[in-house]
């Protein structure tokens, strides 16, 4: 506001001095004084209007620039947010893929271990049965040999 008031005062002083400079200094009657006062008022109104237009133009330019900066900032924020979302989705997908792969690998390994253990248990049971059968044959055959 101070800048606008200063500009207005300068314009008023310039208009007044230009009006005074154009009229010769002489003993003027009251009619000439009234004409000069009217001219000074017209010049003041004209310069005030010009100053108001300039202030309005400046205000509009500043508002437009602020809007542009705000829009650019909003676009940058949206772009950064979209990039963050994309990166987060990529990381999540990679983590899910690794977890799924690990789960499948563990399941396959577990199945292989179960089959191997089952085979070993079956073989051990067969060996135990064979040993029991062999002991029974040996035990009874000893009695048969003693009896004969």
**CA proximity to 14, closest of 47, 50, 42:** 47
- HSE-up (13 A, CA, CB side) for residue 144: 6
Q: Higher confidence at residue 100 or residue 147?
A: 100
| Residue pLDDT, tens place only, 128-146 | 887 777 666 655 565 666 6
The mean predicted confidence, pLDDT, of the chain is 81
| Residue pLDDT, tens place only, 47-96 | 888 888 899 999 999 999 999 999 999 999 999 999 999 999 999 999 99
Report, in angstroms and rounded to the nearest whole number, the Rg of the chain calculated over CA atoms: 54
**What is the C-alpha separation between 18 and 26, in angstroms, rounded?**
16
Mean pLDDT of the 12-33 span: 62
For residue 116, give the DSSP letter.
H
Which tokens belong to 60? 């509009």
């Amino acid at each position: 506001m101070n800048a606008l008031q200063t500009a207005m005062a300068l314009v008023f002083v310039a208009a007044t001095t230009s009006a005074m400079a154009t009229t010769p200094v002489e003993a003027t009657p009251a009619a000439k004084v009234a004409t000069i006062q009217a001219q000074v008022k017209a010049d003041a109104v004209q310069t005030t209007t010009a100053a108001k237009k300039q202030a309005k133009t400046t205000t509009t330019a500043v508002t437009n620039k602020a809007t542009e900066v705000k829009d650019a900032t909003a676009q940058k924020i949206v772009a950064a947010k979209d990039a963050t979302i994309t990166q987060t989705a990529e990381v999540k997908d990679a983590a899910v893929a690794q977890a799924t792969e690990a789960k499948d690998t563990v399941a396959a390994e577990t199945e292989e271990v179960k089959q191997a253990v089952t085979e070993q248990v079956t073989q051990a049971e067969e060996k135990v049965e064979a040993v029991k059968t062999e002991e029974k044959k040996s035990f009874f055959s000893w009695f048969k040999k003693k009896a004969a």
